[in-house]
Amino acid sequence: MGAKRIHKEKALALKNILVVAIGGIVGSLSRWAVSLAIVDHGFPWATLLVNYTGSVILMTLLLYVRHHKSPKWWWRPAIGAGFCGGFTTYSAFSLKIERYFNDGKVSSALIYAVASLVGTYILVFATNEFFKTRWSK
């Protein structure tokens, strides 16, 4: 019985790796497409947009899984870790902040940081409130 259980655990781990990888590929390509569609002229609008959007997608996913009896097993790893992990970009955020500071644009760095952090919090809070009332019934 132990060998069967180990085999099932390995198969599940491989499935999870596969769906995270596929989600990551789709998320990364989507991030790249946004960066091609929205050229940043001074302010990192594309990065802000993907981080806002990714936060809403992740919050929606978590709330959906919490409030529905049988979501698909692959949704959290594929959409959460995979897509949102590939789509959102904390590294681009931090690099832009660092570049602003190095260029002596402290006010731009602060505006971008506040817009990113506060905006994301507001969107996550609003998403939570929106779906909590609909899916709690």
> What 3 state SS string does the chain have?
CHHHHHHHHHHHHHHHHHHHHHHHHHHHHHHHHHHHHCCCCCCCHHHHHHHHHHHHHHHHHHHHHHHCCCCCCCHHHHHHHHHHHHHCCHHHHHHHHHHHHHCCCHHHHHHHHHHHHHHHHHHHHHHHHHHHHHHCC
Q: What is the pLDDT of residues 1-55, one digit of tens each?
A: 577 777 788 888 899 999 999 999 999 999 999 999 998 888 999 999 999 999 9
Statement: residue 137 has pLDDT above 70: no
Q: pTM score > 0.75 for this model? A: yes
